[in-house]
Structure 1
Amino acid sequence: MDGMDRTILVVGTYDTKNAELDYLAEVIRGQGGRVRTVDVSVLGDPESPCDHSKHEVAEAAGSSMAEAIAGEDENFAMQIMARGATALAQRLYQVGAFDGVIVLGGTMGTDLALDLCAALPLGVPKYVVSTVAFSPLIPAERLAADIQMILWAGGLYGLNAVCKASLSQAAGAVLGAARAVRKPGVERPLIGMTSFGKTVLRYMAALKPALEERGFEVAVFHATGMGGRAFEALAAEGAFACVLDFAPQEVGNHLMGSQITAGADRMTNAGRAGIPQMVSIGCYDLVDFVGWQEPPEALRGQEVHAHNRLLSSVLMTGEQRRAMAREICAKLATARNETIFLLPLKGGNEWDRAGGPLHDADGLAVFVEEMRAACPPNVSLREIDAHINDEAFTAAVLEQFDAWRTAGVIETAS
């Protein structure tokens, strides 16, 4: 495929990393792509003019280079440049000026890159070449749902054979992504669903083909932090015709202080966007945490289920389940369209079935009691005398879905 119609936005501090940024651009052009350069320097200047100067970047932030320099604080200055680079990138993307972005930097450049990438829609290739890629310095909430990071090894100062290996891979990756990407389209109305693997939650195996037969496309998001972030990002854009948010565990993770979080806005964006939603209790009773670390302090001493070497889960107490129910209800209270909470009375994951390793009838009863008490008036609470993995749950979902289609609540597939 001819890549000359793919333009990559190359962003960095050209006063200190001119050679490295030029090398990135050289590799992209050498592969048939085009480049648009953005300088986010503060004190110095590039060796040759960029397509978008540092002055233009500062002005896009509603500021100026004079103000950035006068503050005499590098963090203050780079926050101005971060705001400006973000605003500029959004404006350029809206007019089709580039197809993918790559940002190069150390901690300063990475801080800026995270803001810029988070502001671009899902599906725009976003690459960050960073000396702190994958570092615990970078909190999950700063990461765009589809961001890609490559370690800038041996590249703190000047070009060499080691850092050229990183830079050339990054240049090829972003151009290749820009050529190959198929951005989320609107050929068929899209259903957003949350879940986990079929070992623990099985409803998607029956629901996905049934919804596709009705003319819809179904995207299932793995609710382990980043999957929830992608789900919420698309919901905020109004990308879904309907939401089946059946795995709310990320809400509990955030509430209980786990690092595996989809953010404070989890389970709110579909409601704010006016998207009809069904919500349920898949793994509501578990709090995930990083398996090779200690559980969050509030959860220590509770029963732990080790899923694998990366991920473990703590079983919630009754009071924690009450708090979970109240948190869900508070989030759903802001919804602006039809919202139904489907409450399977026999459990919310395969492990908590009667006879299962995490079965806790009393804990489930506490949650059910609190949901009945706290459910806001804009949410319909529908109890189902079944387990979430039973056919009866799937049948109830499809019955409600079809009723919404008939009533015009859900966009009818063409």
Structure 2
Amino acid sequence: MTSHILLLGTCDTKLPELLYLRTRILAQSPSARITLIDVGRTPSSDPAVTISQSQLLEHQSSSSTRLNAKDLQNLPRGDLLDRISKLATACVLGLLRRDSIHGVVAAGGSGGTSVVAAVMQACPVGLPKVLVSTVASGDVGPVVGEADICLMYSIVDVAGLNSVLRSVLDNAAGAIAGMAAAYKRREEERAKEEVEKKIQVGITMFGVTTPCVDVARKRLEENGCEVYVFHATGHGGRAMERLVREGALDAVLDITTTEVCDHLFGGNMSAGPNRLRAAAERGIPYIVSLGACDMVNFGPRDTVPEKFNDRNLLVHNSMVTLMRTSEEECEQVGSWIGKRLKESVKDPSMVQVWMPFNGVSVIDVEGAPFYDHNADAALWRSLKQEMNGSDITTSSWPTDINDERFASGIADRL
């Protein structure tokens, strides 16, 4: 079986560049099968297009107003991109269900990037995804989301072939050809192997909760679990929640819930308003703790909002400044976590909350810069009060979160 690669782009504006990319993929992998999907505004009649705009329109949902090609062309730009994104996503997910796909690649400007990024974000984790984009520099969070997308900055616009763009597209072709071949081999090997599936456990971690996570991870691995550690930087929390919803995780140790602080108080590592939902809603084993809830994360020191200048700030490195959460803020965090768990829980017997009384990070212990017993007490108190009458078990420990006894205990309980 040859590699099957999906190539997406706006064929009305980027066709020469897309065809060049197609040629270079075939130069790297002559037997590859390439499906070119047109996601442009104006339909292309080029014979190289495998899936045309009219074929995309066949994927309109029954709940939306049905459009023809002319209707689509007349939509405002934002509405057009949204509709094309949904059509292309439905098309690609259908192909993934029916056929063997080994990679997705695309090249485009800002509009094409927004369409293709939505498609790639909907694809399974592990499937190779390469996106050459004019906006792959700067804040690419909305482009990547929680997907494993490989971004390549085009340097010049994807508008006319020249030596710079050719070199970038050559590299993209080599990347997707190699990745697709590796993915195909991996899938074939998995199909032949009869390996007993391990219990898959997600754990959230921050640098300041690493000692706890390391002990818990090793403990779980010794007991036959496969452990996935997620860096709780906003995208990490969202990625974990996504994998839980997709059924890829069997249990979660949510040791580090600091993203809630950023969500509530304007930090730059928020996982958004839906954090702490997925595992509770699915009813899988789920233990929540309060790791790094002593801090809100900002960028370089000069980016911290002026209203926080008199707060306890710690320059973690040149890119990250931490702000100690106050007693009032900790009370809000504890209440938010408690309410979220109560409203989301499917089976209270599957959820527990573990509260370490002597600090929630390595810098929140006696003598450390963020130690504040009153703030931590407000965190525990508000969370415990919110849990009253919920049938969710709370467990209090007279240690800090990185104490080996706490880490071993939480892993063993899971």
TM-score normalised over the length of structure 1: 0.89
167, 175, 197: which one aligns with 1:173 = 175
Query: 1:14, 1:46 within 8 Å by CA — same for their partners in 2?
Result: no
- Residue 347 (str. 1) matches residue 359 (str. 2): yes
1:43 is paired with a residue whose SS is coil
Query: 2:297, 2:320 within 8 Å by CA — same for their partners in 1?
Result: yes
Which has the larger helix fraction? 2
- Residue 61 (str. 1) matches residue 60 (str. 2): yes
The equivalent residue for 1:411 is none
Aligned residue pairs total 395
Code of the residue aligned with 2:395 in structure 1: it is: R
Using the alignment, how far apart are the partners of 2:230 and 2:252 within structure 1? 11
The equivalent residue for 2:409 is 396
95, 103, 107: which one aligns with 2:110 = 107
The 5 Å alignment of 1:59-98 reads 59-62=58-61, 63-71=67-75, 73-98=76-101
Cα-to-partner distance string for 1:348-370 (whole Å, 9 max, x where unaligned): 11111111121111111111111
Using the alignment, how far apart are the partners of 1:386 and 1:39 within structure 2? 58
Using the alignment, how far apart are the partners of 2:345 and 2:234 within structure 1? 22
Using the alignment, how far apart are the partners of 1:252 and 1:64 within structure 2? 46
The equivalent residue for 1:154 is 156
- Higher deviation after alignment, 39-48 or 292-301: 292-301
The equivalent residue for 2:7 is 10
241, 247, 250: which one aligns with 2:259 = 250
Task: Report sequence identity in percent.
Answer: 30
The equivalent residue for 1:335 is 345
Using the alignment, how far apart are the partners of 1:327 and 1:141 within structure 2? 29
Query: 1:145, 1:229 within 8 Å by CA — same for their partners in 2?
Result: no
The 5 Å alignment of 1:168-207 reads 168-181=170-183, 187-197=197-207, 200-207=209-216
Shift of 1:168: 1.3
- Residue 367 (str. 1) matches residue 367 (str. 2): no
Cα-to-partner distance string for 1:330-355 (whole Å, 9 max, x where unaligned): 22121223110000111111111111
Using the alignment, how far apart are the partners of 2:406 and 2:313 within structure 1? 27
The equivalent residue for 1:117 is 120
RMSD over equivalenced CA pairs, Å: 2.2
1:352 is paired with a residue whose SS is coil
Query: 1:145, 1:227 within 8 Å by CA — same for their partners in 2?
Result: no
1:124 is paired with a residue whose SS is coil
The equivalent residue for 1:384 is 397
2:256 is paired with a residue whose SS is coil
Using the alignment, how far apart are the partners of 1:187 and 1:108 within structure 2? 41
TM-score normalised over the length of structure 2: 0.89
Q: Where in structure 1 are there 5+ consecutive unaligned residues?
A: 402-414
Cα-to-partner distance string for 1:87-121 (whole Å, 9 max, x where unaligned): 11111112234221112211110111221112112
Cα-to-partner distance string for 1:145-184 (whole Å, 9 max, x where unaligned): 3122111122331111000111111122222222334589
Using the alignment, how far apart are the partners of 1:128 and 1:291 within structure 2? 29
Query: 2:14, 2:158 within 8 Å by CA — same for their partners in 1?
Result: no
Using the alignment, how far apart are the partners of 1:371 and 1:153 within structure 2? 50
Query: 1:118, 1:144 within 8 Å by CA — same for their partners in 2?
Result: yes
